[in-house]
Structure 1
Amino acid sequence: MERLQAAGGWVPFSTYMDWALHDSSHGAYGAGRLQVGPSGDFATSPSLGPDFAELLLPQLLQWFQQQPGDGPLALIETGPGEGQLALQLSEAIARDAPELRERLELVLVEPNPGMAERQRALLADAPLRCRWQSFAQLQESPLTGVMLAHEVLDALAVERVLWDGQDWRLQGVSLVGDAALELAAGPPLSEALRLELDALIPGPSRPEGWCTEWHVGLTPWLAQAAAALSQGQLLVIDYAHEAWRYYAPQRSNGTLMAYRGQRASDDPLLEPGHWDLTAHLCLESLERAAAASGWSLLGQRRQGEALLALGLAQRLHALQQGSPAELADLLSRREALLRYVDPSALGDFRWIALQRSGAVGAQPLFLQDPPLA
């Protein structure tokens, strides 16, 4: 409230979203309030068990093997959450690719102190060397390897844009009285943003009040990521839509959602700093931002299809060979594997692979046809 008052009673939505998520004292991530997992605020694929990391591993190993020479390699995870995926991958690499253990380090890019503290506790005994670095620090000595962005870009602050019946305007957050917040229209869009928006929202004007998001943080984030990686791949795993779906007339309130305690809400103003805020990616916006930042697109696929290409069906079949004593664990793993590919949930995530410098190698495994046996 004090910040809004100091700003004149209104701020762009991106400013509010950044405060609500990343403020080091009051933000949901910055202060470490959010808990990731089935018993926390929301579940992610790694929080359901180690199978997700083990299915991802062959893809990472293919990319590590494509790096020239025998110098040091890095697995860089941005926005590592609780650190579960980092731990699971380090354990799988130490077990299944021990020859990489001396060459490979795990680098975590976590801007939020509250989350970094929990990650350090979980990874204290990880089998791979671990260090925490910012993008700015990595840019001083860029690394070679693979970078992961699993459910990261959907939490970048977005602008909300509103069609008022005659013009496009920014939507922001305003102060009502002394203690209430509301979404309120602000100034018209800049000419540059208007041109970008027009390129992705063709056809007739939207109805008055139609609102959506614009991912202003994508290009800066991808530019920082590119400067931190001298050669290698970036795998983005996140909810995403094609522009024709994202900006369809019937999607009149965008994709912005709030999550807390396994509950979802379309009200982003609930208890600021206590709810996760997330917005889907637009594939075309991501691809344009990537190209402008020095990345080459290798391809994209839905998570369900990607995991089937990496052997999920075979892993499901293998569960049938377990002993009766393992029944509870086997059923839990089976449920997790099915959730990974459920087209109404995690299975609709997109895997988007980008290349940084160097010659493009063989087609990524996750883009290939699933194995027959």
Structure 2
Amino acid sequence: MRSLPAPDAEQLSSSQALTALIRDEIARAGGWLPFADYMRLALYAPGLGYYSAGSRKFGAAGDFITAPELSPLFAQSLAGPVAQVLAACGGDVLEVGAGTGRLAADLLQELAQRDVLPARYLILELSADLAERQRATLQAAVPDLLDRVRWLSALPTDFVGCVVGNELLDAMPCELVRRGDVGWQRRGVVWQEGGFAWADRAISDPALAAALVELDLPVGYQTEVQLEAQGFVRALEAAVKQGALILPDYGFVAGEYYHPQRHMGTLICHYRHHSHDDPFHLPGLEDITTHVDFSAIYRAAMEVGWQLEGFTSQASFLLEAGVLDCLGRLEAGSNDYLKATVALNKLMSPAEMGELFKVIAFSKQLALPALLAGFGRDDRSGAL
């Protein structure tokens, strides 16, 4: 692994405290912890995990930049299908995992401009640190709309409206498996010689075993199984009475996800805008993520009654949702216009986010007069 920036003393101390906590968990578990449990602690351990502690994560000063951070054009385009759902069923907007609050601020502003503001904008956020950052962002950007925002710590019941989860599924703990001579093995974490190390065991979890039945891959192939992401989509169906679910994220359909070139899987870590593949490097200070298997998400949704509204690339989604109209509101040649075009190129270029990022949407008890905005161009549902 190439040289990475060194943490300061406070950051190093926090990472060492989390390392000690995970080491204790491994000992309590008998010396071996499934990777999904390691990932959950590394990202979400109270006060120490990557998303639970106070370090900057998003934007130029953090570890990565999300689409809403690049430009308000993303939220302005996303407002099209959100407004369509609200017009069809009323209700609220629920954003799950709102990051810095940038998407919420821009989406609320755009919905207000379109005169389709929901009575409530709900944010499901498990990180107290991020909830405070979201509140500060909204207070600065849309103070007159802040009274519509409510923070939740659990899914609501009988929700009506539109659910949005931008880059949500990729951050959920995943199982890691490797094909051995005698079949699939579950990858786990042990502590040895002063550090974390890999150790594989036979699979005893029925849900994990069932997910691997149809995967015919060669010996040595390593990949991820996103049981928690699939479970979350099922849980959302139970929480929604009527409405839609829109999930922009990066990933592939199964035929691409399990490509021979991805024989080491898609797990990747982000630390100060450097990407690497060692999830044991500075626990708590780096993001650990995996590309989404959209085919598995689709199957999980269909099992519980979601209706597929569309699946396409981010570039196609933005074009169909009216991103060029949003860009056209800016004065051509102005600094804002030039900055927006640079950001739009990153959002839509096949070499950047345009092709790797996809958007999938589902609905429940929702009768739309036409296709959900964003999915009339290059729909790829048949590939799922």
- Matched to 1:62, the amino acid is Q
Distance 1:360 1:93, change over 3 A: closer
Correspondence for 1:74 among 78, 87, 92? 92
Counterpart position of 2:345: 338
TM-score by length of 1: 0.88
Gaps of 5+ in 1: none
Greater shift after overlay, 282-291 or 79-88? 282-291
Out of 162, 178, 188, the residue aligned to residue 172 of structure 1 is 188
Counterpart Cα distance in 1 of 2:204 and 2:252? 23
1:184 aligns with 2:199: yes
Of the candidates 364, 370, 382, which is equivalent to residue 362 of structure 1?
Answer: 370
Say whether residues 1:266 and 2:277 are aligned partners.
yes
Amino acid at match of 2:106: Q
Residue 148 of structure 1: aligned partner: 164
Deviation at 1:287, TM superposition (A): 0.8
Give the alignment's TM-score, normalised by structure 2.
Answer: 0.86
Contact preservation (8 Å) 2:81, 2:374: yes
Query: Which residue pairs with 1:16 in the alignment?
Result: 38
CA distance, structure 2, for counterparts of residue 249 and residue 299 of structure 1: 27
After TM superposition, give the deviation of residue 360 of structure 1 in Å. Answer: 4.9
Question: Do the aligned residues in 2 keep the contact of 1:34 with 1:275 (CA within 8 Å)?
Answer: no
Structure 1 residues 95 and 312, CA gap change in structure 2 (3 angstroms): closer
Measured in 2, the distance between the counterparts of 1:283 and 1:35 equals 25
Residue in structure 1 matched with residue 358 of structure 2 by the alignment:
350
Question: How far does the alpha carbon of each residue in 1:238-288 deviate from its partner, in whole angstroms, 9 at most, with x for none?
Answer: 112111211123311111000021111111111111111111111211011
Shift of 1:361: 4.2
1:43-62 correspondence runs (5 A)? 43-62=65-84
| C-alpha contact 2:64 2:273 (8 A) present in aligned 1 | yes
User: How far apart are residue 126 of structure 1 and its match?
Assistant: 5.1
Match of 2:102 in 1: 84
Q: 2:275 is aligned with what amino acid?
A: A
Going from structure 1 to structure 2, the CA distance change for 1:14 and 1:369 (only over 3 Å counts) comes to closer
State the superposition RMSD in angstroms. Answer: 2.0
Counterpart amino acid of residue 218 in structure 2:
R
Distance 1:245 1:132, change over 3 A: same
| Aligned equivalent of 1:231 | 242
CA distance in 1 between counterparts of 2:58 and 2:254 reads 29
CA contact (8 A) 2:58 2:99 kept: yes
User: What one-letter code is carried by the residue in structure 1 that aligns with 2:360?
Assistant: I
> Where does residue 149 of structure 2 map in the other structure?
130
For residues 286 and 238 of structure 2, the distance between their equivalents in structure 1, rounded to whole angstroms, comes to 31
1:190 positional shift:
4.1
The gaps in structure 2 that reach 5 residues or longer are 1-22, 379-384
Q: 1:192 to 1:7 in 2, by over 3 A?
A: closer
Gap change, CA 1:290 and 1:121, over 3 Å in 2: same
1:158 aligns with 2:170: no
Contact 1:219 1:293 (C-alpha < 8 Å) held by counterparts = no
Alignment of 1:90-105 (within 5 A): 90-97=108-115, 100-101=116-117, 103-105=118-120
**Aligned equivalent of 1:36:** 58
Counterpart-to-counterpart distance in 1, 2:201 and 2:136? 44
- Counting aligned pairs with the same residue, the percent is 32
